[in-house]
Chains A and B, each alone.
Chain A
Amino acid sequence: MPEKNYSEINPAWEGRKPVIVGFLCNWCSYRAADLAGTSRFGYPATLRDIRIMCTGRLDPTFVIKALREGADGVLVMGCHPHQCHYDEGNYKAMRRMALLRRTLAQLGVHPDRVQLGWASAAQGALFTETVTAMTERIAELGPLEWRDTIEDIAPRTPSPEIEEVAHGK
C-alpha cells in the first residue's frame, strides 16, 4: 500500500506519520492481523502491534504510558462479546476502556485517540478496515506530542533576576 502524505491532511504531520500502538488479544485480533498479512491485505504502516493474552489483561497503565511516550493513538482489539477465550476478559476491557476514555478526555486526550474494537480470527478484512479508519481519524486530529506537555516550562518571568532565582543559581 503506497504511503500517504499525512501533512496534506494536517500540516502538523510535516516530517513524520501517525504512530498507533495496538494491543491485540492472542486468540482473536492478533490472529486477524496474521490473517490480514497472509491474505496480503494492505493497511497503513502506522500500527505497532503488541500481543497480549487477553484484553482483560490490559492494564490502563499500558495505554497511558504509550500516549506519554509518544504514541498519537492507542487501539485495543479483542474477541467479540460471548467469544472471549477466558469467558469475560473482553467485558472487563470494555468497562475499563469506557472509564479510561472518560478520564483521558478530562486530561485533554480526544476519545478517538483511544479506541476499542473487536475482530475474530477470521476477520482479517475487518482488522485492516479498523486500522485504516483509525489512522485517518488520527491524521485529522494531528500529532499528540505529550512530551511537550510534560516539559511545560515556567512562563517567561519578567526580569533576569527572577530567572536567576528560579533556576537556583
Chain B
Amino acid sequence: MASNGKPKLALYWASSCGGCEIAVLALHEKILEVADAFDIVFWPCAMDFKEEDIKAMDDGSIDVCLFNGAIRNDDNEHMAHLLRQKSKVMVAFGSCAMEGCMPGLANFTDREQMMNFIYHDSPTTDNPESIEPQVITEVAEGELRLPAFWNTVRTLDQVVPVEYYLPGCPPEAKWIEVAVGAILSGELPPPGSVIGADVTVCDECPRTKSEKKITRFYRPQEIIPDPDICLLEQGIFCAGIATRGGCGALCPQVNMGCRGCYGPNEGVIDGGARLIGAIGSVIEGRTAEDIDAVLDTLPDPAGYFYRFSLPHSLLRRVHLVNDNGRNVAQPIKEVPRLDPSLNE
C-alpha cells in the first residue's frame, strides 16, 4: 500500500500492439474510479515513469501488475522478471501475455528467416547496403543497444509465475471491470484462474443454428453471408464452437467468423486441437477424395486453429532442426492427402 493507503497498480506492455492499453481506456469514465482507487506507479503508455523508478521500489511493493504483450526479446523478458519481483499479483492481461496472440505467429518460422524476409527479401524492401538491426552499435557518442530478438515467442507464464489471466484481443471492458472489482473487494478467484466467461462464443451468438454439414469453406471475400444463419453452416470458418465467450459474440454479429481470441474454455489443454476435433466433425465426406476436396477449400489450417495460441499450445512452434548449431524452423510444404486405400 502507498502512504495514501491506496493499492499500487502497474501496467506494462511487452511485445504488443497497444490495443490492450486502449482497452483499459475503453473503461471510459470508470477509468477515473480506477485512478481514484489505485496509486498508478508505472504505465509507460500514459505516464512518465521509468524503469529506474521500478528498480528503486521494494520487492513485492506493487499490489497488482497488469502485464500485456508476449515475450519476444530480452527486454520483454527482463521487464517481466523485474515486474514479477516487485509485484504481489501478476495478471497476464490480454491474449498476447496469455497465449502469444499475433506476435506468436512468428513461431511459424524462426528469427533468421524472419529477418531475411523483412530486411532483404520482401518485395517492398529497398536495402542496398544490407543493413540489419544490431544488438550493439558503436557510434561516436558511445554504444547504442537494441533488445536481442529471440528465436521463439513465449507467453508471460512461460517466463515468470502468473496469478491470473484476462483473455481477449483485447479484453472487453466488462471483464476488466470484473477483474478490477475483484482486486478491490479482495474476493479473488483461486490463483491460476482465467477471469472470464464459462460458455463458448456460440452460446452468446444470436444466429440460428441447426445441423452443420460443410461441403466447402468460403473465405470472407468469396461470399455474402446470410445475416441470420450460423456462419459455420454457411461455410465461413468460425472458431466460436471451441472459443471462450464473454465478448458477446461481437465478430459473428458483423458477418465475420470468430477468430478465437478469447482462447479455449476451462479444462482444454490445446485450443487448436479442440478446433480440429470440432471442425472435423462437421465437414461432409465419407471417402478420402471427398474429404480432401472439402479441406482443399480451407487453406492454412494451422493459421486458423492456432491464430492466437501457438506459443501456448502443446507443440508451441514449428519443428526446429539443428543446422550447424543453429535452430532452424522446418515446416513441410507439401499438403498431405488421405490414402485412397482408406475407402475400403
Contact = CB atoms under 8 A, between A and B. Distances in A.
A103 B298 CA distance: 11
Given A108-B329, A155-B150, A148 B338 contact: no
Given A61-B314, A146-B319, A106 B286 contact: no
B321 to A, nearest CB: 8
Interface of B: 74-75, 77-78, 80-82, 108, 111, 135-136, 145, 148-152, 269-270, 272-274, 276-277, 279-281, 283, 285-286, 288, 291-292, 295, 300-303, 305-306, 313-320, 322, 326-327, 329-332, 334-336, 338-339, 342-344
Looking at B148, B281, B335, the one whose CB has the most chain A CB atoms below 10 A away is B148
SS class of chain B's interface: helix, strand, loop or mixed?
A: mixed
Given A81-B344, A157-B74, A101 B336 contact: yes
A17 B306 CA distance: 32
B24 to A, nearest CB: 26
A139 B136 CA distance: 45
B269 A168 contact: no
Nearest to B332: A105
A3 to B, nearest CB: 27
Interface string A101-133: 111011111110000111000000000000000
Contacts of A80: 344
B179 to A, nearest CB: 26
B60 to A, nearest CB: 16
A94 B291 contact: yes
A109 B302 CA distance: 12
Nearest to B135: A158
Interface in A86-102: 88, 91-92, 94-102
Interface string A139-160: 0000010101110101101110
Contact of A105 (B145, B315, B316, B331): B331
B74 A162 contact: yes
Contacts of B135: 157-159, 162
Given A152-B151, A166-B74, A100 B276 contact: yes
A67 interface: yes
Contacts of A152: 151-152, 317, 320, 327
Contacts of A101: 336
A116 B338 CA distance: 9
28 contacts: A60-B274, A61-B270, A61-B314, A63-B273, A64-B273, A81-B344, A91-B286, A92-B281, A98-B338, A99-B283, A99-B295, A105-B332, A105-B334, A107-B317, A108-B331, A109-B319, A111-B332, A144-B319, A149-B317, A154-B74, A154-B151, A155-B326, A157-B148, A158-B135, A162-B145, A165-B75, A165-B78, A168-B82
A146 B321 CA distance: 10
A116 B339 CA distance: 9
B302 A107 contact: yes
Contacts of A96: 276-277, 280-281
Given A94-B291, A96-B280, A168-B82, A106 B301 contact: yes
B78 A111 contact: no
A136 B77 CA distance: 43
B270 A64 contact: yes
Interface in A38-90: 59-61, 63-65, 67-68, 80-81, 88
A105 B74 contact: no
Contacts of A103: 272, 276, 301-302, 305-306
A110 B135 CA distance: 36
A156 B304 CA distance: 32
Contacts of A165: 74-75, 78
Contacts of A63: 273
A94 B277 contact: no
Contacts of A64: 270, 273, 313-315
A164 to B, nearest CB: 10
Given A95-B285, A108-B330, A162 B148 contact: yes
B334 to A, nearest CB: 7
Contacts of A88: 286
Contacts of B145: 162
Given A152-B320, A158-B136, A94 B342 contact: yes
A99 B282 CA distance: 12
